Structure 1
Amino acid sequence: MHCYLHNLLFLLKNNQTLGVARLSLPLTDVNKSIGNLRKIIILATVIALAIASIISLIISLTITKPLQEMTKFSQKISKGDFGKKLEFRSQDEMGQLALSLNQMSEDLENKIKVISEDRNKMEVVLSSIIEGIAAIDREGIGSDKSDPYLPPKTTNYKLTKS
């Protein structure tokens, strides 16, 4: 026994029935159409998920790759390598962070140069003063301990109370 889907349309004029239009389809045809529609919806969903995954991968790479470069740059700075600069053309947060890291690198390099120059000046001054430096502890007594800031040629004198 076959099941059918029936659809009736009454043709009326001035409330009088002129005729009836009837459409009948076997339910197997309707079920096939519904099955095909399900397959199309599932396929469209899978394609949409694949496209969304590819887009999210591209977006994540545009974020993680610059962060990895900035991490390597920071590690080089921590080892005293100030030679390279980060190059970013974007004006977004990543570009601003790269600009800040470049500025920090330049500032650190300048400060290290100033400190090194000052240290060299101090070494010159201390190495030229061979005599006339006496190390005295808090009690006013000469100390036998060598001062790490004095050059090795410096002679320490021991003072005694009279």
Structure 2
Amino acid sequence: GHVFQGRFFSSTVETEGYLFSCIRYIHNNPVKAYMVSSILDYPFSSAEEYMRTMDDSEKKTKGCISGEVFSLLKQRFRNKREFLDFHDLFDNQEFIDIKEEKEEYDFLRVKQQLEIYTNENNIKSFKLLNSIPYMRNRAVEFCKNETGLPELKIENFLMILAKGA
């Protein structure tokens, strides 16, 4: 959201999973805002420092990454490619504070999962998928398992995608 929009909100980072979700969210913000095309292109991002630490066998770099977080990074990612790929994954953590952004985010998550489903099942279009009840139901169940979203919301998104195909 905007810097001075509403009251300041903070949330405690208590688990490794949430920490990594926060890292991904922060690094992806400039990409989602169409300011840059890669997390590494934003000049004020810590992503470059994270990438440098992937080369260090022990923390030699000076910067914002604490020794504890550095250790977690080394345990979680074997190399730079894994770290970069991690940023391309959708995340179920909710950091979104504007309803319209959440709706768009959910739509993109469902679309991504439906693309995976249609590719794996050799289905040529969302329109075709939506027209075959058995396949539609299986696709909705697949998306529900992957995203945790309600079936009705997924079905509505699929109808929108089918109309656009």
TM-score (norm 2): 0.24
Structure whose alpha-carbon radius of gyration is higher = 1
Higher helix proportion (structure 1 or 2): 2
More strand as a share of residues: 1
